[in-house]
Amino acid sequence: MATSKLSTRQRLSWAIITILVLLYALFPVAAILATSFKTPADLGNQSFLPNTWTWANYEMILTGSAQGLFLSALRNSIGITLISTAIAVVLATLAAYAIARLNFPGKRLILGAALAVSIFPVISVVTPLFNLWRTIGLYDTWLGLIIPYLSLTLPISIWTLSAFFRQIPWELEQAAQVDGATQWQAFRKAIIPLALPGVFTTAIIAFFIAWND
């Protein structure tokens, strides 16, 4: 089979395109970072870099008057996001494997419903959810945020992982079972290691969905 190789000019062109895309994507991050070193008087300045560099903003949120508010909010955000991501990935892995490997009625309906839920506007259920959580005592708790985040991360996680599982050859699992492995052992020792890139990708997606919200 003939293999095509990129010429030096083509490689240079792709390198330039890649650098331009990275600069475009990272420019807002660089702007935020530069703004964090500006003084309050500098914030209205149109210049990209601050006229006077200062650590005062970081001192305020890490050791100053805003420490209690910022650090507690950061701790809550990281904890809730990590727990939501871990639960979503575990449940989505099991559900996606069943959808990809097992034949049962309504499988396509489940995938369609998962995709529909993932694009549903969450803001429309905030008010009834707020009233429900106050009634049952979940308001202002970690669990009260983890449950709604699972409704955001689970559907897209199931959809993504089911596509990865369908790409793994069925014969590998059958070979493991022929060698004496149970279905669970074949899933854990043969399928999961091959699906790790998909699981990792899904975890990143679920993490950013929960974090951004």
For the chain (length 213 residues), average pLDDT per consecutive 10?
A: 69 94 94 90 82 88 85 92 94 88 78 77 82 89 90 87 85 81 81 88 92 85
CA dist 145 and 125 (Å) reads 13
What's residue 1's pLDDT? 45
Contact call for residues 76 and 144 (beta carbons, < 8 A) = no
- In the chain, what are the domain boundaries? 8-54, 72-212
Q: How many CB atoms lie within 10 A of CB 131?
A: 10
H/E element, 210: helix 192-212
What's residue 30's pLDDT? 93
What's residue 183's pLDDT? 78
CA dist 173 and 187 (Å) reads 7
Q: Between the CA of residue 4 and those of 1, 10, 11, 114, 190, what are the distances in Å?
A: 10, 12, 13, 40, 34
What's residue 203's pLDDT? 94
- Angle of CA points 104, 168, 173, to nearest 5°: 75
What's residue 4's pLDDT? 57
CA dist 36 and 15 (Å) reads 31
What DSSP assignment string belongs to 126-186?
HHHHHHHHHHHT-TTSHHHHHHHHHHHHHHHHHHHHHHHHHHS-HHHHHHHHHTT--HHHH
CA dist 153 and 209 (Å) reads 7
What's residue 48's pLDDT? 85
> Which bin fits 21, alpha (ψ -120 to 50), beta or left (φ > 0)?
alpha
What's residue 213's pLDDT? 78
Residues 6+ apart with CB under 8 A from 62: 70, 71
Tell me which residue has tokens 């990143």.
204
What's residue 2's pLDDT? 45
CATH of domain 72-212: 1.10.3720.10
Query: pTM value?
Result: 0.77
